[in-house]
Structure 1
Amino acid sequence: MPKIFGAALLVLALAAAPSATAVAGPTAQSGQTAGQTTGRYIVTLEHTPAAESADAAVNAAVGRASSMGAVVVHVYRHALQGYAASMTAATAAALADEPGVRSVEPDRPVRIAAQSVPTGVDRVEADLSATAAIDGKDTRVDADVAVIDTGIDADHPDLNVYEAGGKNCWLPILPPMDMHGHGTHVAGTIGALDNGTGVVGAAPGVRLWPVQVLSPLGSGSTSNVVCGIDYVTEHADEIDVVNMSLGGSGKDDGNCGKTNNDAMHQAICNSVAKGVTYAVAAGNDHIDAAGFVPAAYDEVITVSALADFDGKPGGLGRPTCRTDRDDTFADFSNYGRDVDLIAPGVCIRSTFRYGGYSTLSGTSMAAPHVAGGAALYRATHPGASPAAVKSALVTAGGTDWTWPSEDGDGIKEPLLRLRSF
């Protein structure tokens, strides 16, 4: 019999202290808020393989929920089959016993926990990549990257935001326009234009798909995130790579979320199966990433943060926006066997809202370097599977960073290196 399961609280993966030039977001969520809910529930249905039958099953389930007083806010058809709806706890319990319902989980709040691109791009050697072709002439990498975040400033002159793509899962009647800044910052690290002004991304000029799952205050819910993954999966024939610089407490059950009824994990697994590569932040609690999702999922590329202030190895750079040690594991970054790569994540300058620029720190800033790297690889290997992309990035990674340092697991992660892509 289906049960109601708790969903993890998600936070954007920035470090605790913002730089002097950054806009400070809300403080990190404490464990005391982990039990809060949004008044919504995510209902996951038993999988129906045939498309027409699946649509019918979803429509019937939505109709049944509505007849019981639930107000449906999202319908999922691609990454998983189900819906999210506002309802009472009694209605949720009743729906959990309905035939065809796999699970019903409370929808939890998601919130930002606040913490130049040139140094990061230099350190991962994207400027030496023939595909990136960074020379100030605005050559654009032929790949598509979705940013599941606070949206993207579509009018930013240094970004190639794909006008025909994007979705607002936070407030569907509005375009996915970033009024916070985090998503735009992530987007710039991935693909800011090589146009001689501002900053340049790891994969300059990639088509950026804004998928807004968080409000202008940086808050949202798991159901919004699943909505974003669902949208990406619907467009899996167009979108190559996704960046998710967010996460929260949880574990990988080793069964794509089917054992512990983790809707987000199920959605990501199904999306990866459609050929989409996911780069995600390891988190900023300086603990084992095994307790942080989606970082703990095996199907994604999990990225920890390197403190680098000059774009070069050797540990000679002077600290700028944070008091950290150059060329070492960032003192806030999560670690562990689930981490696949390390990339620059301290004092990263990138695009920001209202056409501006800002400097931020966090594994949120490390992950988009890898998303950009994945885009470079897909641009020259269009048929590559997510597993092949991950293997290529990890295999090309270097070891030229200072260790041991703040890393807490005895494992030296490979440093992202893109010169051969």
Structure 2
Amino acid sequence: MRRTRNVVRTAVAAALVGSTALAVPAQAAERFGGGWLTTATAGTAGTTLKDVRTIIGADTGAAARLTGTGVGVALLDTGVAPVAGLPAARIVNGPDLSFESQADNLRYLDSYGHGTHMAGIIVGNDTASGAKGIATGAQLTSIKLGTANGAVDVSQVIAGIDWVVEHRNDDPNNPIRVLNLSYGSGGNPAAATDPLQYAVERAWKAGIVVVAAAGNEGNAEARLTNPATDPYVVSVGAASTKGTVATGDDDLAAFTNSGTTGKAIDVLAPGESILSLRDPGSSIDDAYPSARSGTTLFRGSGTSQAAAVTSAAVALLLEAKPSLTPDQVKNLLKRGTALTAGKAGTLRLKQINVNTALGLSPAADSAQKHPLSSGAGEIDDARGASRVVSNSVALTGEFSVFGPFHSANWAAMTAVGQAWIGGNWMGTTIAGNGWTGTSFASKTWASAVWPVIPWGGSRTWTDPSWSGRAWSGRAWSADEWTGARYTSTDGWSTSRWG
């Protein structure tokens, strides 16, 4: 049975009682979606999803008939809210691996607001505003990782990716073929050993197109965020569309990492002032009322939004050409519309175009042959300076939020599909053993009580400075993101939700 919006608002309010989530420096921004609105987009009406469809060539030719039917998209984010614009028949709840999973009134729900915005871009169908997502026929599996104040650790992200790989074929009618990560970790370790890059590479090799946000630290930041740095995945930067559907003047959004050092941006997609679903009562909805449009929509900017647009576009391609491999999908996407304006022209970046991709055949040399990560590096390096904190004790060293973590052992187990067994990840019970039908979504992975954590003695975690690394869509209004999302010791300056 679908829950009402009042349930979300009440639950979020309860979650924020006593929270310091919004008491952070003015320069703070999120990991799940860390982006901001530039002066050029502040106060504008926003870019509708209908306009986005036109910009990316999804409303013309053969592409116009596609909806993503038969394709599963996994959204690792902050959960989804049961708003009217998200049809329950198109939503499946995977395991809630967030700290809020231990609260009955918050489990699976998006108390932050970021995941709902991403879900609206992909599968939304809002009759009140007429806004429709890019792939309304796809099935979206939500794996909740982030909380109302954004707190998440890279170990939860890795566990979520592992779950997607192990359960990608649970629904034979809608196998998971796309994984959206509007996220970036707090560290950028060597690709040869990074556990996070190992996780996304394993998903890629399992036939899942991994789409990762490039990051929102600005064009002056030359390096992409992890895992967009991985050579296999599709790294997505945000395009500034200048308020038009014509692409001739489009440029790289000023908040996007430029990718001029290390891995370059693979593709661009619209990412400024995107109008998608509002999550009433969520942290960002309460913090940025000026970003609301009508009663059901919300304006947001970031490489998070660009990644979600790209994930939906991939679902359309896979509906039309289900035999495509991830390497072939990436090859077709990269042959989109070349942008000539400003920074985008200098960097020779291309914006995705679904109809163009449909008319192409994958290049003969589209198979990627990059060196693979061993996954044996320290998880603390992937975590970087961003650390969740419980009772003033920061999570550090070779630990997940669930206990000791040995990267080499994990890599060996996940390589043979043994990291997840039932509700156990690496031998610790962190979720239920299978699917139930007890939530607002059509299907839900059962919950479980976590073991007592070995440090701090509390299940209340924060990320005290969250300076802008994680959920990569930093901006939802004319103001920069000032609310801390995952309270972390460094302000989350590198791990962001796209």
Q: What is the TM-score of this pair, normalised by structure 2? A: 0.54
Q: Do the aligned partners of residues 10 and 264 (structure 1) sit closer, same or farther apart at CA in structure 2, a change above 3 Å counting?
A: farther
Partner of residue 256, structure 2 = 333
Contact 1:350/1:358 (CA < 8 Å) preserved in 2? yes
- What stretches of structure 1 of length at least 5 have no aligned partner? 1-8, 23-115, 316-326
Cα distance in 1 for partners of 2:221, 2:72 equals 31
Whether 1:16 aligns to 2:36 is yes
- Residue 197 of structure 1, CA deviation: 4.6
Q: Please show how residues 43-82 of structure 1 align to structure 2 within 5 Å.
A: none
DSSP 3-state at the match of 2:258: coil
1:284 lines up with 2:212 in the alignment: no
1:148 to 2:76 alignment:
yes
Question: In the alignment, which of 123, 136, 141 is matched to residue 209 of structure 1?
Answer: 141
Deviation (angstroms), 1:142: 2.4
What does residue 190 of structure 2 align with?
Answer: 253
- Corresponding residue number in structure 1 for 2:434: none
Correspondence 1:307 to 2:240: yes
- The CA distance in 1 between the partners of 2:57 and 2:128, in whole Å, is 18
Cα distance in 1 between the residues matched to 2:61 and 2:84? 25
Q: Does 1:157 align with 2:70?
A: no
Show the 5 A alignment for 1:31-180. Answer: 116-128=48-60, 130-133=62-65, 141-159=69-87, 162-170=90-98, 171-173=100-102, 175-180=107-112
Match of 2:179 in 1: 242
Query: Would the aligned equivalents of 1:151 and 1:212 in 2 still touch at CA under 8 Å?
Result: yes
Whether the aligned pair in 2 keeps the contact of 1:13 and 1:282 (CA below 8 Å) is: no
For 1:382, the equivalent position in structure 2 comes to: 322
Aligned partners of 1:291 and 1:183: how far apart in 2?
21
Task: Tell me the SS of whatever aligns to 1:419.
Answer: helix
Q: Alpha carbons of 1:254 and 1:164: their partners in 2 closer, same or farther (altered >3 Å)?
A: closer
Question: Counterpart of 1:120 in structure 2: which amino acid?
Answer: V
CA distance in 2, matches of 1:373, 1:211: 20
Question: Deviation of residue 194 (structure 1)?
Answer: 8.4
TM-score (norm 1): 0.64
Question: Once superposed, what is the RMSD of the aligned Cα atoms?
Answer: 2.8
Instruction: State percent identity of aligned pairs.
Output: 28
Question: What are the superposed Cα offsets for residues 347-400 of structure 1, whole Å, 9 maximum, x if unpaired?
Answer: 1111121482111111111111110111111112223221111112112x011x
Aligned counterpart, 1:35: none
Please, which runs of 5 or more residues in structure 2 have no aligned partner? 1-28, 170-174, 281-294, 359-498
> 2 CA distance for matches of 1:213 and 1:161?
22
Give the distance between the partners of 1:381 and 1:14, measured in 2 at CA: 33
Is the 8 Å Cα contact of residues 160 and 193 (structure 1) preserved in structure 2?
no
Where does residue 228 of structure 1 map in the other structure? 160
1:346: which partner in 2?
272
Point out the more displaced range, 218-227 or 282-291.
282-291
Give the equivalent residue in structure 2 for 1:100.
none
Q: CA deviation at 1:298?
A: 1.0
- Please give the alpha-carbon distance, in whole angstroms, between the structure 1 residues aligned to 2:42 and 2:297: 12
- Confirm whether residue 293 of structure 1 aligns to residue 226 of structure 2: yes
Matched residue, 1:99: none
Q: Report the number of matched residues.
A: 296
Report the 3-state secondary structure (helix = DSSP H, G, I; strand = E; otherwise coil) of the residue aligned with 1:220: coil
Q: 1:186 aligns with which of 115, 118, 121?
A: 118
Question: SS of the residue aligned with 1:333?
Answer: coil
Task: Report deviation, 1:143.
Answer: 1.1
Alpha-carbon shift at residue 264 of structure 1 (Å): 1.5
